[in-house]
Homo-oligomer: A and B are copies of this chain.
Amino acid sequence: MVDTALASLFAHFEQYIKLSTSLRDALAERMHLVTFKKGDLIHNADTICKESYFIQKGILRTYFLKDGKEITEYFVSENEWVNSPRSMIQQKVDIYFIDALEDTIAFKLKIHHLGYLFDNFPEMERYARLSMGSLFGHFMERITSLRFTTAKEKYDHFLTVYGDLYPRLPLGMVASYLGITQETLSRLRAER
């Protein structure tokens, strides 16, 4: 169980860097599997983010509150990292909450362990640089999509990018992610 989980974790890293045995060992020692139940709050915006999670199974959601309503910032699933970015980096509070949309298994990595890895394995810095770089493209696409597409096009784009996740997600959360109302999304869905 733990070994197959570790294997997929290592495979993820290997997409960006070559993993030395010593780095493998260092990672295995510091990343620990934790489980969440559907609905669990993983990170509260009131607190400073002290850990990152690498999802093994399940879906987590980052959201914030606007006028008392939960607005989805993004969804995270298998083989992706989550934390509250600015809170994590600058060690101050930020607006984001993280909760579990399904029963979830994840590796937990504490910030001081992450710091240790960065300080002792330059290839970890490279991994971070490269993996963040590939997120940039997604951000840019999303920004373009928000500026210049109709609700229908946003919905279609969402399906191509998150098609596998989509059936597992409540409608309202998808709507707030796309910046449209739930009613509009429901109507779009109906017309096909």
Contact = CB atoms under 8 A, between A and B. Distances in A.
Interface string A114-143: 000010001001101110111011011011
A146 B143 contact: yes
A179 B147 contact: yes
A29 to B, nearest CB: 22
Interface residues of A, number: 30
Contacts of A139: 139, 143
Interface string A138-159: 0110111011100000000000
Contacts of A34: none
A89 interface: yes
A71 interface: yes
Contact of A125 (B125, B134, B140, B179): B125
13 contacts: A71-B148, A73-B144, A85-B140, A89-B133, A89-B136, A122-B125, A129-B129, A132-B133, A142-B143, A143-B143, A146-B146, A146-B179, A147-B178
